[in-house]
Chain A
């Protein structure tokens, strides 16, 4: 893994570019670098969510087929 001068990995910058490109967003170099620094923290938080035993629990937001009135 190659490191950039700001500490983010070049692979993560490529990943971020790819994810944002899917949405049609092409951030500039400085913005991309900032997102590269942020990404590891975001992924750590996401990974911690999977460490919790959620069993067969449903999502908090539950769809219900109801008439609106």
Chain B
């Protein structure tokens, strides 16, 4: 996607009179008429309310009311997050439609107060944990870089909608990597901020202590603009922390040179990554090194335990939320979903306590090692392989070991995925930048610096609104 197709550029165009929010939304809807049916982006479109919101945004800007960088900007919302416009399906036949009657949660309130335009609810994997399911009456999200490949999950429609230019940003949720994985597979930027920075109220939980709602967009700058609005304490979410408001955009260009980054060298990560992915990652590391960042090898302590612990605990936590519904509606769940959540019943209460104790030991050990070695951030590929085909995928590429995101849900550390190149099949590859708790600005600053050095985040797939719309 070109720089022009970003929140940053659009915010500028809206203020210098080059365009209006109404024009942007109309073009987005026109693009979706063509792209949505072939990419499976939306579960529900809110065309009329989006156009109304765009007109209000234009009227306010004309009368001198400027709500900030998201004013008049179209966003897609993953359909496990409640909104005023309609029910929340979680892409499941098992979901009680009345759950969504609660309307906007705090994040939607914040985004709308900032002038954002909600375009609709985007596709997901069932309850943010299933897999692409061709047997259910829901769209199967497809990768705009190759429609025979999946987007990654579970914030699939938000990712493919941004990558194809149907909206400029959106909300995903991330329990084991569901913001960062589709961001990497679709060639966009996605951020899982520190746990507790952004409220989760109004979102169907998956792993209660692993869930994050995170921003997705074309660039780090755009994610920073969204996070600035999203962050903040919420009395309805006890996991949120009280911190003063912070402008993550204003600090992107601060002259605070990052001195040292750790390159993750754990064998289990490297063994579960293709040679091609590691070669692309090496190039990205070299780009960072050339920019003056010292790179040192970093063996993450307890990495495998953090990785496995995330899946064990999130299944147990998910089972707690789904138990009664699974009992009553077993066959209404997709098969992969019910089998995944049911595994939570095979983990005892004592087992979960032990996972939680390991989680605490590991979190402290990683922080201590980063402190002792002077490493401020860690770098790794986001995934071991590019997006896989729906049929005939290499088993290694689809294994849980080939995703390099879950450990950071266990620690709660901020983790960003930025595009870093393409694999041999022309599919995007993502680099993950991991920081320490509440140093989200440090992570975003390094990601922004990388995007100033490279143009991977500006690449567009052939299936993009800009190349499929006539003026």
Contacts and interface: CB of A to CB of B under 8 A. Distances in A.
Interface in B316-356: 323, 326-327, 330, 335, 338-339, 342-343, 345-347, 351, 353-356
A56 to B, nearest CB: 9
Interface residues of B, number: 33
A42 B346 contact: yes
A60 B305 contact: no
Given A45-B312, A49-B312, A57-B360, A25 B342 contact: yes
B345 A57 contact: no
A61 to B, nearest CB: 5
A69 to B, nearest CB: 6
A49 B309 contact: yes
B342 A54 contact: no
Contacts of B357: 54, 57-60
B342 A35 contact: yes
B9 interface: no
Given A24-B327, A48-B308, A59 B345 contact: no
B361 to A, nearest CB: 5
Interface string A28-55: 0001001100110011011011101010
A35 B326 contact: no
B417 to A, nearest CB: 24
Contacts of A57: 357, 360-361
B192 interface: no
B359 A23 contact: no
B343 A35 contact: yes
Contacts of B323: 23, 25
A52 B354 CA distance: 9
A68 interface: yes
Nearest to A16: B346
Given A49-B312, A49-B358, A59-B357, A27 B346 contact: no
The 8 closest A-B pairs by CB, nearest first: A59-B356, A24-B327, A60-B359, A54-B357, A60-B360, A45-B308, A57-B357, A60-B356
Interface of A: 16, 19-20, 22-27, 31, 34-35, 38-39, 42-43, 45-46, 48-50, 52, 54, 57-61, 68-69
29 contacts: A19-B346, A22-B345, A23-B327, A23-B345, A25-B323, A25-B345, A26-B330, A34-B339, A35-B343, A35-B346, A39-B346, A42-B312, A42-B343, A45-B312, A46-B347, A46-B354, A48-B308, A49-B312, A49-B355, A52-B305, A52-B361, A54-B361, A57-B357, A57-B360, A57-B361, A59-B353, A60-B359, A61-B356, A68-B238
